[in-house]
Amino acid sequence: MLKLEPQILSREIIKPSSPEIIHQRKPFRIFLFDQLTPSTYVSNITFFSLSDHTTNILTQLKTSLSETLNVLYSFSGRIADNMFIHRFDEGVPFLSAKIDCRLSQFRKHHEIEALNKLLPCQPFSKESNKEDEVPLLVCQVTVFACGGIALGLCTSHKITDAISGMILGNVWSLISRGSRYSDFEYPSLAEASFIFPPKNPMPPNYLSMMESLWFTEANYIKRKFTFDANAIAKLKDMAKGEGTEATRTRTEAVSGFIWKCSMAASRAVYQDP
């Protein structure tokens, strides 16, 4: 019988590798819409097929994450008063785990809920009301019997949307591949608070209304979509469009296709032309 229960081997806190830089940072202001967002985690799982050097990969991920936090220091802090992020030396919890099955076996398993076992936190559930104690990023690396790994990330929706999540992944991957954070440019995550500054104080009825919208029980359906190499190649051609030579990435092509179908389904349900 296939064993789908990971065993946690270690728990660590990854902090910025240059604490002297972090101590010079001013508190990071969150912007208005993040103030309204309840304390909950959004999740992402990335699978990597590896045959050996898994121990080195774990060390590499920890080291590169530590350097990434020098750049994206807000992910290492804690929220205060639903206004700003500080205490950037608190760090990011990093869990190492193993599971007694091969990556190929796990990917063929049809129970979608099993994916939650590869995450360090329960996704889209309300976190503690004590925001100053809640990490803004939590990582779990699960090693499969074949040497492959699953990198599960839970990031606070207070500071993470699709764009900032992509920035985190891109910066971390560049540093993991050998780039120094001083060698490349990256967007500033603090600019949003200048356009939509936080409201002090935020009316409590606004916050309670948002929580009721987020955590109302309903009949949700989960679906798993699998795109093989040929399908992704066709989607990339479709995404290119006419009169342009720009080539879309696999992520852009698949994400754009899913959103296009989601919008079409929404219009059909609500009869919106």
Residue 222's pLDDT band (cuts 50, 70, 90): confident
Encode pLDDT of 150-195 as tens digits.
999 999 988 888 888 888 998 999 999 888 766 767 667 777 788 8
What pTM was estimated for this model as a whole?
A: 0.84
- For residue 121 the two structure tokens come to 């936190």
Give the pLDDT mean for 198-220: 80
pLDDT at 221: 75
Query: Nearest to residue 159, comparing CAs of 226, 92, 245?
Result: 92
* CA 32 to chain centroid: 21
Nearest-10 crossing angle of helices 250-270, 229-240: 80
> Stretch 104-114: mean pLDDT, rounded?
82
Average pLDDT over residues 190-210: 83
End-to-end CA distance of the chain: 50
What average pLDDT does the segment 216-245 reach?
81
Only one residue has tokens 């899913």, namely: 258
Give the per-residue pLDDT at 213: 78
CA distance to 42, 58, 76, 124, per residue, from 142 (Å) = 18, 10, 22, 21
What is the secondary structure of the chain as a DSSP string? ------EEEEEEEE--S-HHHHTTPPPEE--HHHHHS-SBEEEEEEEE--SS-HHHHHHHHHHHHHHHHHHSGGGGSEEETTTEEE-TTS-EEEEEEE-SS-HHHHHH---GGGGGGGSSS-TT-B--S-GGGS-SEEEEEEE-TTS-EEEEEEEETTT--HHHHHHHHHHHHHHHTT--TTSS----TTTHHHHSPPPSSPPHHHHHHHHHHHS-------------HHHHHHHHHHHH-TT--PPPPHHHHHHHHHHHHHHHHHHHHHT--
Higher per-residue confidence, 6 vs 240: 6
What mean pLDDT do residues 246-259 have?
A: 87
pLDDT for residue 1: 60
Query: Region 244-249: what's the mean pLDDT?
Result: 76
CB atoms within 10 A of CB 151: 18
Q: Is the pLDDT of residue 4 over 90?
A: no
With a cut of 60, say whether residue 51 has pLDDT above it.
no
* Residues 132 and 80: beta-carbon distance below 8 Å: yes
Q: Which of 59-68, 115-124, 126-135, 222-231 has the lowest mean pLDDT?
A: 126-135
For strand 92-98 and strand 149-156, is the pairing parallel, antiparallel, or unpaired? Answer: unpaired
Q: What is the pLDDT of residues 57-86, one digit of tens each?
A: 889 999 999 999 998 999 999 999 989 999
What are the tokens at 29? 């202001």
Which of 137-141, 194-198, 238-242 has the lowest average pLDDT?
238-242
Give the mean pLDDT of the chain.
85
pLDDT value, residue 184? 67
How far is 156 from 108, CA to CA, in rounded Å?
A: 29
Query: Does the structure show a pLDDT above 90 at 207?
Result: no
Residue 55: pLDDT band (50, 70, 90) is low
The rounded distance, in Å, linking the Cα atoms of 29 and 190 is 7
